[in-house]
Amino acid sequence: MTTTWPTDRLVSLLGIEHPVVQGPFGGGASSVALATAVSNAGGLGSFGAHALRPDEITDLVTALRAATDRPFAVNLWVPQPSEVTDVDLAPHVERLRPLYERTGSAPPSGVTVQSFDDQLAAALDAAPPVLSFVMGVPPAAALDTARRKGIRTVGTASTVEEAEALAAAGLDVVVASGSDAGGHRGAFLRPVEESLVGTFSLVPQVVDAVDVPVVAAGGIADGRGVAAAFALGAHGVQIGTGFLNTVDSNASKPHRRALNSTDARRTVLTRVFSGRLARGIANRVTRDLAGAEREVPAYPVQNALMMPIRRAAADRDDPDHLNLWSGQAAPLTRETTAVEYLTRLVREAQALLRG
């Protein structure tokens, strides 16, 4: 497929054919099959690695390289000061006791998290073509190492100030992630409630504020959204929910059903699954625990407390107790293959841009 785009800054920088980035997923929804299918079809496939051990990150990059000779991205979460584990679990376990009983699961005995420094060191050693970050600005020394190794770096901003901080730190690309997007909100300079800027408002402001290529994210799921992003001045798009709703992702069966149902029209921003504010399809858990939004402990404690419930729900084909991460444009998607989806996005966007 021969294509031309309004700007080639992103495709030239990353060495890709189409300015479409597959959003990285945490929580086990990423897959090597999805990332490499997108990359092989000319986009930038991504894998969310924030829950992986350092050795697993090494193995991941090896597996991705074996499956594609095209650029791909590995994504990490930058830790925040609020991420502590020395919290008394007892009162929080009691709050969740009905959920453990309903799902036949048991609370964890403690909270463990991966060392970001060790993850980052492993990723830099493995040297994927692109290393992307959410939740903050990565360390300057790591960015220096990435530049020396020829690794392109991508940071995610939910406000103009965050975009300016990422560009000033020297990241190669900024993703402007509007509040329409599914999954976790990555605000890191101000409280997340003060950082909920819609995609149409955020993207042109970020384009005006920074000199690096800007990727629009949030609420983009079809060719119309891709064309609109370019009209706003973006150099490319990042799409999460649309690629999550492909057969190549590791989304669970109840998650896939929810994405393809009318339930996907109703999403909420909630902390109850992980302790971080995230957008997902409303279900029994988000409704039952709505009154506890301010009481749940911060990530990673709440995430660890909910993990047995989420895993049991996935095993039991139970959407009521599962985190159904989804952006607001989910009703514009349909279950298909990643290659078919990317091909359709490009075809639709090209027709609109030519028109």
pLDDT at 3: 79
**Within a domain: residue 231?**
yes
Q: Where are the alpha helices (DSSP H) in 81-196?
A: 90-103, 116-126, 140-149, 160-169
The answer to whether 73 touches 130, Cβ cutoff 8 Å, is yes
Q: Where are the alpha helices (DSSP H) in 170-220?
A: 199-209
Give the tens place of pLDDT for each residue, 189-235.
Answer: 999 999 999 999 999 999 999 999 999 999 999 999 999 999 999 99
What is the C-alpha to C-alpha distance for residues 264 and 309, in angstroms, rounded to an integer? 21
What is the C-alpha to C-alpha distance for residues 157 and 133, in angstroms, rounded to an integer? 10
**Within a domain: residue 234?**
yes
- Using left for φ > 0, alpha for ψ between -120 and 50, and beta otherwise, residue 185 falls in beta
Q: What distance lies between CA 39 and its chain's CA centroid?
A: 17
What is the C-alpha to C-alpha distance for residues 65 and 227, in angstroms, rounded to an integer? 31
Mean per-residue pLDDT over the chain, rounded: 96
pLDDT in tens, the chain (355 residues): 567 899 999 999 999 999 999 999 987 899 999 999 999 999 999 999 999 999 999 999 999 999 999 999 999 999 988 788 889 999 999 999 999 999 999 999 899 889 999 999 999 999 999 999 999 999 999 999 999 999 999 999 999 999 999 999 999 999 999 999 999 999 999 999 999 999 999 999 999 999 999 999 999 999 999 999 999 999 999 999 999 999 999 999 999 999 999 999 999 999 999 999 999 999 999 999 999 999 999 999 999 999 999 999 999 999 999 999 999 999 999 999 999 999 999 999 999 999 8
- For residue 26, the tally of other CB atoms under 10 A from its CB is 20
**Within a domain: residue 349?**
yes
Dihedral sign (CA 257, 328, 23, 48)? negative
pLDDT at 2: 62
Cis peptide before 331 (omega within 30 of 0): no
pLDDT at 112: 87
Helix (H) or strand (E) holding 183: strand 183-184
Reading across the β-sheet that carries 130-134, which strands appear in turn? 20-22, 236-239, 214-217, 173-177, 152-157, 130-134, 72-77, 45-48
**Within a domain: residue 205?**
yes
Tokens standing for 9? 């800054």
**Within a domain: residue 211?**
yes
Give the tens place of pLDDT for each residue, 58-111.
Answer: 999 999 999 999 999 999 999 988 788 889 999 999 999 999 999 999 999 899
The answer to whether 279 touches 187, Cβ cutoff 8 Å, is no
Q: How many domains does the structure of the chain reveal?
A: 1
**Within a domain: residue 4?**
no
What is the C-alpha to C-alpha distance for residues 141 and 73, in angstroms, rounded to an integer? 19
Domain range for 104 is: 9-354
77: amino acid identity, one letter:
W
CATH code of the domain covering residue 46: 3.20.20.70
**pTM (predicted TM-score):** 0.96
**Within a domain: residue 214?**
yes
**Within a domain: residue 1?**
no
pLDDT at 295: 94
